[in-house]
Structure 1
């Protein structure tokens, strides 16, 4: 009798390991999370701005390591710059703005999947700045001026266009010019540009060091909580590495939750963004969401269409990993 029970038990165990959906990597167990990958690597594109603070929190606290993922950081100028690097395989995942991701998908320039949300707008953290002696004071004054954005056709340009239109000002004559965020302060001082769409920590640094003034807050009013950026990968990498991406996302989500505590963000930006503690303590932060809100992304699509920045159809729901 004991021999028969032992035989039956061994058969059942063997079946459980071969039936689809069972086993340690299926992710269907409600008792424990899916097992992470072993020694997997992700080459991640990042920008030295507060938006990506959770990445550095996760590295500092060992969240990626706990999930079995080795994250290698690659510096990029903006979200648009990360897209071709995903396509040609130089990056596995990149932080970027939703506008660049959606535009690339609509144009057929890339086939992308959204891995995680990253940052949403709040007043004071996405500002059009000008030198202290500027004659520019309102949205109307920006008409026809030269305004720097980190990359063309991205969320920064959309934010300026949408904010101007919201105040009944035609942005059509604005001369948008590409410039890396760290270079904007000096360009304002030299009067190479009339204004710049600046993010933190560069907003507070420019205000303290050169007396830069705010001309337009692009995240005020209806634009508050607008999705700014997140993390995307190529559809090819997503198909081939679903377990790795799940592990990456679990670690990042933990860090996104931590970033809701201001001191957690301040602790890392003094290092990777080279921000003095005195500046870090007064920065204006957006919010770090834990999940992607498709309804909000569809509002971004609507804004892109209204401002002539979308040339094809795109459905954020279909782009979710």
Structure 2
């Protein structure tokens, strides 16, 4: 039986709060404070795919070290999965999506957004997200997916907002489809096999799926807002208070990487075969995310308003408290 939207959100938040009771100190496996002038190393997890490539590029290009920090980076399946790790102290920084962070903050989790993560393009054709269907599918619009299963990487995150908005635009409700949680690398096969009718993918999985014949029927991120901020980098309030220099250095690393990719996207694309283990031909065609360094207040307010509309939040959170970068 499908869990109601409000009930599912509450259950998720309650689980996170239970996790929070067991940890949250800044003494993880990293040396966040550094000793004797030593550059601190922060443990960071980010979503597999384009978000992960951004941080890997920043680290390998020496941009983080120049800013005064090193990163120990691991891949995650999505933003909601890393928040319990962050709150328990297993991570210093989590690359998440803004929806998961706002849900946690609304339920009392001590989360602080310290830098902007991925944003999408102003151009829908360059949106790094895509809603995709099988080569032989007759579906050409999300409005034809009523009662069908749609694959998403994690439940109760940015997918709820962008797909919910698209469904509303098509005259349907959020509950008119069933979301199925699948890792990005498994989605194309699930669509091909008929296990799901469609999937919301990001790059490079979009381009890989296109090579396999899957069809794009929508651009979820730009459909909500061109240039929409999707991701954010988050720490706990305690970590931010105890490690202000490390947080500032991380912010400098993110901003430097965002500036570098904006000024020389070809250099980032040229690095993708190594940092993303991509075939050179695929690296040449993937759509590149945008990164702004800082948080985009307009995007955050829009997303939060939609979260209230869809019942993911009972009321808006205080962004002035949650956002510190």
TM-score normalised by the chain length of structure 2: 0.83
Aligned residue among 248, 265, 271 for 1:246: 248
Q: State whether structure 2 residue 103 is matched by structure 1 residue 103.
A: yes
Equivalent in 126, 129, 133 of residue 129 of structure 2: 126
CA 60–121 in structure 1, closer or farther in 2 if over 3 Å, else same:
same
- Contact kept? 2:308, 2:316, Cα under 8 Å: no
Q: Aligned partners of 1:222 and 1:112: how far apart in 2?
A: 25
Q: Are the aligned partners of 1:45 and 1:82 in contact in 2 as well (CA < 8 Å)?
A: yes
The equivalent residue for 1:185 is 188
> Over the residues paired in the alignment, what is the CA RMSD in angstroms?
1.8
CA distance in 1, matches of 2:51, 2:268: 10
1:206 deviates by 0.4
Q: Deviations over 1:18-47 (max 9, x none)?
A: xxxxxxxxxxxxxxxxxx963312000122
- Deviations 1:261-282 (CA, angstroms, capped at 9, x unpaired): 3213213332233221111111
SS in 2 for 1:281: helix
The answer to whether the Cα contact below 8 Å between 1:45 and 1:75 also exists between their aligned partners in 2 is yes
Distance 1:68 1:313 in 2: 35
Out of 273, 276, 282, the position equivalent to 2:276 is 273
Q: Unaligned stretches of 5+ in structure 1?
A: 1-35
- Other-structure match for 1:234: 236
- 2: distance between equivalents of 1:37 and 1:186? 50
1-side partners of 2:37 and 2:311: how far apart? 42
Residue 192 of structure 1, CA deviation: 1.2
Partner SS, residue 65 of structure 1: helix
Question: Match for residue 311 of structure 1?
Answer: 314
Aligned residue among 159, 166, 171 for 2:169: 166
CA shift for structure 1 position 305: 1.4
1:157 lines up with 2:160 in the alignment:
yes
CA contact (8 A) 1:162 1:307 kept: no
Post-superposition Cα deviations, 1:148-198, rounded to whole Å, max 9, x if no partner, equal 111001112321111121232223121101111111112112211111100
- Say if 1:129 and 1:195, in contact at 8 Å, map to a contact too: yes
1:16 corresponds in structure 2 to none
Structure 1 contact 99–300 (Cα < 8 Å) conserved: yes
SS of the equivalent of 1:259 reads helix
Give the distance between the partners of 1:173 and 1:296, measured in 2 at CA.
26
Shift of 1:49: 1.4
Which residue of structure 2 aligns with residue 79 of structure 1?
79
For the Cα contact (< 8 Å) 1:226–1:300, is it kept in 2?
Answer: no
Greater displacement, 269-278 / 153-162: 269-278
TM, length-normalised to structure 1: 0.84
CA distance in 2, matches of 1:221, 1:81: 25
Distance 2:315 2:86 in 1: 21
Report 1:250-265 matches (<5 A).
250-260=252-262, 261-265=264-268
- On the 8 A contact 1:107/1:312 being kept in 2, the answer is no
Aligned residue runs from structure 1 range 28-107, under 5 A: 38-107=38-107
Structure 2: state its 5+ residue gaps: 1-35
Contact kept? 2:129, 2:221, Cα under 8 Å: yes
> Paired residue for 2:27?
none
SS in 1 for 2:117: strand
Instruction: Give the count of matched residue pairs.
Output: 284
Distance, in Å, in 1 between the alignment partners of 2:305 and 2:233 is 21
